[in-house]
Amino acid sequence: MTLHQNLIAGEWVGADGVENINPSNTNEVVGVYARASADDAKNAIAAAKAAFPAWSRSGILERHAILKKTSDEILARKEELGNLLAREEGKTLPEAIGETIRAAQIFDFFAGEVLRLSGEVLPSVRPNIGVEITREPIGVVGIITPWNFPIAIPAWKIAPALAYGNTIVFKPAELVPACSWAIADILHRAGLPKGVLNLVMGKGSVVGQAMLDSPDLAAITFTGSTGTGKRVAAASIEHNRKFQLEMGGKNPMVVLDDADLTVAVEAAANSGFFSTGQRCTASSRLIVTEGIHDKFVAALTEKLKTLVVDDALKAGTHIGPVVDAGQLKQDTDYIAIGQSEGAKLAFGGETISRDNPGFFLQPTLFTEATNQMRISREEIFGPVVSVIRVKNYDEALSVANDTPFGLSAGIATTSLKHATHFKRNSEAGMVMVNLPTAGVDFHVPFGGRKASSFGPREQGKYASEFFTVVKTAYTLA
C-alpha cells in the first residue's frame, strides 16, 4: 500500500507507516500513514517559523484564492472523501458526506473573510493624534484535533489560521489521519507556499507533546478530552502562549410535559445516538418531567428499535460502529457501571455481530438514573444515554446546569415562557429549543463554558479573536 507521508517544509517525508483500520470491518486497511517523531515535529515547527514572515504579509487575494480552491476541490470530491471518512471513523456515509460538505463550506466562508479584513481608525483623546486599531496574525499556530470529526474540525481550525495570516503545525488524532492528509494534499496543490501548513501525523504523547514543549508555537488550538486539554493549558502558560480549548460535554436535553412528543423524541434520538453518540454536543442526559416521562420513554424506546446499527457504508444504516476497541470498552464499562449504580437498562446494552468484524454496539438507554450517578456526570462518548425523571421545569433547569460541563443544552417545550427562561439561564455555550443539542451552523460562534471550553469562540467571524492579535497604533499628525 502507498505510504501517505507527513508534509514538512513543502516536502512529503517519512518512512515509518501505521495502518488506518476501518471500524466497520477490522479486516480492511483504509491506508498506511506515516508516524512522525518528536524530531519531525521540531522540523515542522522550524519550517512554519521560517514561512511566517512572508505568509503573514501575503496578499489577501492569494490567500482568498487558495482557500476558495480548497473548498471547491473538497466539494467536488465529497462522495470520495465522505467514503474515506466513513471508513476511517465509522460514521454513516450520509453523515460523512455531510461533514465533508461542511468542511468545504468552512473553507469557503474563510475565503470570504480574508476579503473582509478590517481595522478601526479613531480620533485620540489628545489633540493632533490619530489612533489605528488593527488585527495581526499571531505566528506559528499548533493545531491538535480529535478523531470524531476527522475533516470538519481540522477545517474549522486550519481555514481561519491561514485566512488571518498564520502558519501551521497540524497534528490530527492518530486514529483518523486520512482526511487530514487529504486536506494537506489539497492545500499543497492549491498553491500554499512551503512551510505554511505542516502536517505531522502521529501519537499525541510524542508529536503532540513535542508541540506543547516548543517555545516557538505562538498559539495552540486544541479539541479533545478535558484531560489532554488541561495539559495543553499548563504547557501553554509555561511558554506564555495563547491557547484555545474545546473539550468534553455531558449535554442535557430537558423534555417538559407540554413538549411536542414527536419533536422531543426525534431530537433526543438524533443528538443522543446519531454519529454513534460520539459528538461532543451529543445529548447524554435526558431530563424529563414526570407528566410526560413514561410516554416519552415508551416512544423513544420504540424509535430505538427502528434504528439499524451496521457497516457505515451500508445503505439504511442509522448508526455506524464505535471508533475502536478502546472506545468500545469505555462504553461497555460505563454500561456496567450504570447497572451497578442502580439505573434501569431500558434498551440495548449489548455489542452486536455483523457480516464483518467491527465495533458494533446497540443504542443504549438507561432510565431511573439520577444526576449524581457516574453515567450522568462523566462523558461516556458513545451511544449511551440516561433519562433522569424530575418534578417540574425548575428542577429540570437545576439538574441541567448541575454538571462540570457546559457545551450545549436543549429544551423540548411548546411554552414560550420556559423556552425563553431556559435560553437565558442555561449555563451552556449553545442552547437549542426543540432541536437536537448536536448540529450547528458554520458561520456563528461555537463553544462552551466550564470544563467544556476555554478561550475565544471558534467559527464564524468570532474566530478572528483567537487567530489574530490586536495592535493599537498612535500617530502624531
Q: Which of residues 205-264 bind ligand NDP (CB under 6 A)?
A: 205, 208-209, 212, 223-225, 228, 231, 246-249
Note whether 460 binds ligand NDP by CB under 6 A.
Answer: no
**Closest distance to ligand NDP from the beta carbon of 176 (Å):** 9
Which residues lie across from 360 on neighbouring strands?
A: 352
Known active-site residue 280: yes
Residue closer to ligand NDP by CB (options 204, 439) is 204
**Closest distance to ligand NDP from the beta carbon of 15 (Å):** 19
Q: Which of residues 290-349 bind ligand NDP (CB under 6 A)?
A: none
Known active-site residue 179: no
Note whether 174 binds ligand NDP by CB under 6 A.
Answer: yes
Q: Which of 73, 246, 266, 458 is catalytic?
A: 246
Continuous H helices in 284-324: 290-306
Continuous H helices in 33-134: 38-56, 60-76, 78-89, 93-114
Residue closer to ligand NDP by CB (options 284, 367) is 284
Q: Which of residues 262-281 bind ligand NDP (CB under 6 A)?
A: 280
Q: Hey, what's the cell of 291?
A: 407528566
Note whether 383 binds ligand NDP by CB under 6 A.
Answer: no
Residue closer to ligand NDP by CB (options 374, 471) is 374
**What is the gyration radius of the CA atoms in the chain, in angstroms?**
23
Residue closer to ligand NDP by CB (options 169, 335) is 169
Say whether 27 sits in a helix, a strand or coil.
strand
Q: Would you tell me how many other CB atoms lie within 10 Å of the CB of residue 366?
A: 27
Instruction: Give the C-alpha separation, 21 to 254, whole Å.
Output: 38
Per-position x/- string for 348-367, each x denoting binding to ligand NDP as judged by CB under 6 A, each - no binding: --------------------
Cα–Cα distance list, 385 to 112, 278, 302, 344 (Å): 40, 12, 15, 11
User: Which residue matches cell numbers 438507554?
Assistant: 365
Cβ–Cβ under 8 Å, residues 408 and 428: yes
Q: How far from chain centre, in Å, is Cα 374?
A: 23
Q: Hey, what's the cell of 31?
A: 491506508
Note whether 146 binds ligand NDP by CB under 6 A.
Answer: yes
- Which residues are designated catalytic? 246, 280
Provide the binding-site residues for ligand NDP, judged by CB under 6 A: 144-149, 171, 173-174, 203-205, 208-209, 212, 223-225, 228, 231, 246-249, 280, 379, 381, 407, 452
